[in-house]
Amino acid sequence: MTSASPLVGLPADTYENHGFLFHSLGDKYVRAVAEVSKCTPLMIPAMIDAVHLDQLLDPFDGILMTGAVSNVHPPHYGEEPTADHEPYDHARDAMTLKLIRAVIDRGIPLFCICRGFQELNVVLGGSLEAELQKGEGRLDHRAPKSDDTDVRYAPTHAVKITKGGMLERIIGKSETMVNSIHRQGVKKLAPGLNAEAVAPDGIIEAVSVKGARAFAFGTQWHPEYKAAKNPDSVKLFTAFGDAVRAHNRDRASTTFNKQRYA
Residues recognised as catalytic: 114, 222, 224
Contact between 220 and 157 under an 8 Å Cβ cutoff? The reply is no
Q: Which residue in 122, 125, 234, 216 sits closest to 176, CA to CA?
A: 234
| Residue 167: its H or E element | helix 166-171
Q: What is the DSSP annotation of the chain? A: ---SS-EEEEEPEEEEETTEEEEE--HHHHHHHHHTS--EEEEE-S-GGGS-HHHHHTT-SEEEEPP-SSB--GGGGT----GGG--B-HHHHHHHHHHHHHHHHHT--EEEETHHHHHHHHHTT-EEES-GGGSTT----SPPS-S-HHHHTS--EEEEEPTTSHHHHHH--SEEEE----S-EEEE--TTEEEEEE-TTS-EEEEEETT-SS-EEEESS-TTTTGGG-HHHHHHHHHHHHHHHHHHHHHHHHHHHHHHT-
